[in-house]
Chains A and B, each alone.
Chain A
Amino acid sequence: DIQMTQFPSTLSASVGDRVTISCRASQDIGPWLAWYQQKPGRAPKLLISQASVLETRVPSRFSGNGSGTEFTLTINSLQPDDFATYFCHHWTFGQGSKVEVK
């Protein structure tokens, strides 16, 4: 199985901050990486597919970058609704990055 390594596991931030989460694949996966947001008790929500393609109705403050084995998710101007856990995914999932209030 491909291993996805995600960091940091926890990130403390304030409303208005720019945050970046990283994800590394154990082998070249091309552009085939997705990012999800999950809130407690809810199913994950797809934010970005193919490393950088924003899903419909996802705010433009979210952006994704990367290819091969190195990927990033950036949230510009963090909003109150963005405090959640984020996962990268290509078949297997990264360990998750919890964005919490500083």
Chain B
Amino acid sequence: QVRLEQSGPDLKKPGASLRVSCKASGYTFTSYYIMWVRQAPGQGLEWVGGLSPHNDKPNYAQKFQGRVTMTTDTPTTTAYLVLKRVTSDDTAVYYCARVRGFYDTSAPDWGQGTQVTVSS
């Protein structure tokens, strides 16, 4: 079955970069988009961006442009999210999810979430 295994919780100081990984299995990695979503404490879901492993063309939310990088490594079927210059506002649970396509952006499979805390 489809499985998305994320890296463990992380603590970052303000100004540092956060990196979350998402190891995919159970499906053809290059056939589906991966999107990244975050959820701050007590808040809703916030789309960070998405990436097709087929062509590595990212689609970032405007809010994160210039600060975010999403990549994939096809041999290890792993997706990565890097967010630079973090502040306390970036404290959140970060999720990766498998997306059906560019138009049908529904996500039937999600990682378990990675808690990232930004604190000095």
Contacts and interface: CB of A to CB of B under 8 A. Distances in A.
Interface of A: 1, 30, 32, 34, 36, 38, 43-44, 46, 49-50, 55, 85, 87, 89-96
Contacts, number: 59
A70 B19 CA distance: 37
Interface of B: 35, 37, 44-47, 50, 59, 61-63, 95, 97, 100, 103-108, 110-113
Contact residues of B: prevailing secondary structure: loop
Contacts of B47: 1, 89, 91-93
16 contacts: A32-B103, A32-B105, A34-B105, A43-B112, A43-B113, A44-B37, A49-B100, A49-B104, A49-B106, A49-B108, A85-B44, A91-B50, A92-B61, A93-B45, A94-B44, A96-B45
